[in-house]
Amino acid sequence: MTLSTSAPSFRDWLSQRTNSELAELLGNRPDALVPLPPSFASLATRLSLRSSLARALADCNAQQLAVLEEIARRGGELEEVADPNPQVTRELKARGLVFGEVMIPRELMPALPTRWSLLDQLTVDPEAIADLPADEAHIVRT
């Protein structure tokens, strides 16, 4: 579901944060502060670098990662999309991983390992595990 026809830029969104919102975001992303960025444009660029995004993603929990994946599936790298989980989205905005109404930086998903997914998990029937030979069942249970 598209919410707007003109997607906001991360830099513009960042420049509109209050001092307390910026302090929280930078507390979550201290790597962007060394050396001190001279402008919002350079800060936005640093926060959008794949390496910085990867560090921020490493601090996310499974629910936050799943929400990011859902936003990406809805096209949130290209345009604003419907919010799949407002509480988690607020947490992700505080990390600079979601911006605007609901968008993600274009380098966010590429910062994750190739073919990574929480939403596409293989499900296994518990009876299939129960039917495994003892040596294989031992491996599954460890």
Residue pLDDT, tens place only, 42-78 = 999 999 999 999 999 999 999 999 999 999 999 999 9
Q: 51 vs 27, 77, 79, 88, 92, CA distance in Å?
A: 17, 17, 23, 22, 17
The share of the chain scoring above pLDDT 70, in percent, equals 95
Residue 1 CA to residue 83 CA, distance in Å, equals 10
| Residue 96 exposed, middle or buried by CB count within 10 Å (0-12, 13-18, 19+) | buried
Residue 20 CA to residue 135 CA, distance in Å, equals 56
pTM equals 0.79
Residue pLDDT, tens place only, 5-23 = 567 899 999 999 999 999 9
Q: Angle, to 10 degrees, between the axis of helix 50-58 and the axis of helix 40-48? A: 60
**CB-based contacts of 112, cutoff 8 Å, min separation 6:** 54, 57
Q: Can you give the pLDDT at residue 5?
A: 52
> Across residues 97-109, what is the average pLDDT?
95
